[in-house]
Amino acid sequence: MARYLITGIAGFIGSTLAHALVEQGHEVRGIDNLSTGSLDNLADIRHAISFEQTDLQDVAGMKAACEGVDFVLHQGALASVPRSVKDPLGSHQSNINGTLNLLIAARDAKVRRIVYAASSSAYGDQPTQPKQEDMPPLPLSPYAVQKLTCEYYIQSFYRAYGLEGICLRYFNIFGPHQAADSPYSGVIAQFTYKMMAGDTPTIFGDGLTSRDFNYVDNAVSANLLACAAPSAVATGRVFNIGTGKSQTLNDVYAAIAGELGFREKPKYGPPREGDIRHSLANIERATAELGYRPKVGFHDGLRKTIAWYVAEHEKKAATTIEG
Ligand code: UD2
């Protein structure tokens, strides 16, 4: 049994990680400022974890959170490329200042290792596909710059202070509990939510933009493997956490519409600012060095995700009728 701190524990990836760790009998502490996460995501394990509503930028809060911890799984961030384009300073403060504050606290508390939720956005519009970790990064959006900067911080904290770190470059993670009701939500969540409400989603661009959509359980397994990996790979090394396959936005729309029986054709709008065109992971490094294998493929993951949104929708409808 080990002690874990999950930042952003009320978010969709953080809360899924928390469930997995609680199930394995580990001690889980979590922090979240609840700006985008929700305690609803933790309702069934709330009794089994300790939780503090704290911001990553809170110095005393991070000091307390890191005390006695073995592993920090750093998921907390203001996600979203368009949000960072709209508010570069706000997202900088959360994503970079917050991470630096956490790293200082983790160093001082002599945490064993930090596993960082990095982002495939770091590659930007590199023409080569699939993306490999040793390609020079080319971040386009402020969000991409912020996520990449924190990788560098993780590396420098290893070199300067010996704090072990692993950076997992997530490729478009999706799954149950992903917030769906904000313009900054992930595309799968937004499309599903809109189609369920009878609204026709808009595809930004021509629909041929593609992403390596990766089901959340695969990201959870990558985090657990990163904690178990030998120290030799915890030097701030970067790993792609994708599936090695990609889907266009047209494919995604059709797959969700097919599952939900939604018959309207998509609307198309201008491409989104800061967006990259294609994103596809080469996962050989993560497979070789961490033992990572994506167990849930896109279509299986999508079915599980949609089933969850439908069940939530029905629960809410039933509560409204009862109330
Ligand atoms: C980026 C990162 C991802 C993660 C995420 C966190 C890349 C390749 N991926 O995801 O790893 O860090 O940020 O937020 O940079 N779209 C529509 N209609 C909509 C909503 C979105 O067409 O209503 C498009 C959007 O323009 C984009 C694609 O869907 O081309 C995916 O958008 P997203 O916001 O789900 O994720 P993305 O790729 O910005």
180: confidence class by pLDDT, cuts 50, 70, 90: very high
Q: What mean pLDDT do residues 161-165 have?
A: 98
Q: Compute the distance between CA of residue 36 and CA of residue 92 in angstroms, rounded to an integer.
A: 16
Query: Atom 29 (ligand 1): residue with closest C-alpha?
Result: 187
- The CATH number for 187-208+246-280+297-322, chosen from 3.90.25.10, 3.40.30.10, 3.40.640.10, 3.40.190.10, is 3.90.25.10
pLDDT of residue 282: 98
* Residues linked to residue 113 through DSSP beta bridges, in sequence order: 71, 164
CATH of domain 3-174+215-244+282-290: 3.40.50.720
What tokens does 189 get? Answer: 């969540």
Ligand 1: nearest atom to the Cα of 211: 8
The string of pLDDT tens digits covering residues 201-239 is 999 999 999 999 999 999 999 999 999 999 999 999 999
**Burial per residue of 180-216, b for 16 or more beta-carbon CB atoms within 10 angstroms, e otherwise:** beeeebbbbbbbbbbbbeeeebebbeebebbbbbbbb
The string of pLDDT tens digits covering residues 229-272 is 999 999 999 999 999 999 999 999 999 999 999 999 999 999 99
Q: Does the pLDDT value for residue 321 go beyond 80?
A: no
Q: What mean pLDDT do residues 132-159 have?
A: 97
Domain parsing of the chain, residue ranges: 3-174+215-244+282-290, 187-208+246-280+297-322
The string of pLDDT tens digits covering residues 118-129 is 999 999 988 899
**Span from the CA of 278 to the centroid of ligand 1 (angstroms):** 11
Strands 214-215 and 173-174: parallel
Share of the chain above pLDDT 70, in %: 99
pLDDT of residue 319: 81
pLDDT of residue 317: 83
CA dist 240 → 49, 116, 137, 141 (Å): 29, 12, 13, 19
Identity at 261, one-letter amino acid code:
G
Residues 305-309: contacts with CB under 8 Å, at least 24 apart: 305/174, 305/175, 305/176, 305/178, 305/188, 305/192, 305/215, 306/192, 306/256, 306/259, 306/260, 308/175, 308/176, 308/177, 309/176, 309/180, 309/189, 309/192, 309/193, 309/196
5: confidence class by pLDDT, cuts 50, 70, 90: very high
The string of pLDDT tens digits covering residues 56-100 is 999 999 999 999 999 999 999 999 999 999 999 999 999 999 999
Distance from first CA to last CA of the chain, Å, rounded?
43
In terms of C-beta density within 10 A (0-12 exposed, 13-18 middle, 19 or more buried), how is residue 126 classed? middle
pLDDT of residue 320: 74
Output the average pLDDT for the chain.
97
Pocket of ligand 1, candidates 87, 169, 211: which has the most ligand atoms within 8 Å of its Cβ, to mutate?
211
Pocket of ligand 1, candidates 80, 95, 121: which has the most ligand atoms within 8 Å of its Cβ, to mutate?
121
Q: Which of 155, 33, 17 is nearest to 94 (CA)?
A: 33
274: confidence class by pLDDT, cuts 50, 70, 90: confident
Catalytic residues: 143
Rg (CA), the chain: 19
Identity at 85, one-letter amino acid code:
V
Q: Does the pLDDT value for residue 110 go beyond 80?
A: yes
pLDDT of residue 316: 84
Q: Does the pLDDT value for residue 318 go beyond 90?
A: no
Q: How many CB atoms lie within 10 A of CB 68?
A: 12
Q: Compute the distance between CA of residue 263 and CA of residue 322 in angstroms, rounded to an integer.
A: 31
Question: Ligand 1 pocket: which residues have CB below 6 Å?
Answer: 79-81, 119-121, 170-172, 186-187, 190, 201-204, 209, 211, 249, 272, 275-276, 279
323: confidence class by pLDDT, cuts 50, 70, 90: low
**Span from the CA of 269 to the centroid of ligand 1 (angstroms):** 15
